[in-house]
């Protein structure tokens, strides 16, 4: 399942997409939990009883601001969360 957490507002679309199929039997040792400097990820049991990563509820409305530390104005080449997730489950829409 692709889970899109985030929102669209007047300034743009801010979604973090997690391919939860890649979380099942995670080969990165749940590195997303420590990879994000803000600790935005958590492991939840989804509706199908799989343990998968998700963006914590408290961050879902403020992604544009919470992720700015890793996305300086001069551009970025890699993000700590998507780099830590070696199975490639985490993607940003912006």
Partner 1 sequence: MITAGIDMGSRTVKVVFLEELKVDGAPQLRWGVKGKHIMFPDDLDADQAADKAFEDALKGAGLTRDQVTKVVATGAGRKQVKFATSDVTEVGAGARGAVFMCPEAKTVVDVGAEEGRGVKANAEGKVVDFAGNEKCAAGAGAFAESMSRALQLSLKDFGEASLRSDKTIPMNAQCTVFAESEVVSLIHSATPKEDIAKAVLDAVASRVCAMVRRVGIEDEVILIGGMVHNPGFVQSLKGALGVDKVHLPDMPEYISALGAALIATDGDA
Closer residue to partner 1 (CB): 41 or 84:
41
**Token pair for residue 28?**
């990165």
Contact call for residues 11 and 64 (beta carbons, < 8 A): yes
**With binding defined as CB under 8 A, does residue 60 bind partner 1?**
yes
Closer residue to partner 1 (CB): 15 or 31:
15
Contacts of 52 (CB under 8 A, 6+ apart): 1, 3, 18, 20, 23, 24, 43, 44, 45, 46
Q: Which of 25, 27, 48, 74 binds partner 1 (CB under 8 A)?
A: 48
- Stretch binding partner 1 (CB under 8 A), from 27-35, 43-51, 67-75, 82-90: 43-51
């Amino acid at each position: 399942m692709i889970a899109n957490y985030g929102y669209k507002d007047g300034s743009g679309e801010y979604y973090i997409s997690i391919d939860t199929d890649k979380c099942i039997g995670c080969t990165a040792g749940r590195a997303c939990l420590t990879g994000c400097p803000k600790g935005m990820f958590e492991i939840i049991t989804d509706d199908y009883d799989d343990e998968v990563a998700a963006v914590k509820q408290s961050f879902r409305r403020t992604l544009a601001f919470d992720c700015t530390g890793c996305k300086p104005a001069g551009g970025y080449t890699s993000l700590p969360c998507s780099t830590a997730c070696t199975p490639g489950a985490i993607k940003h829409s912006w």
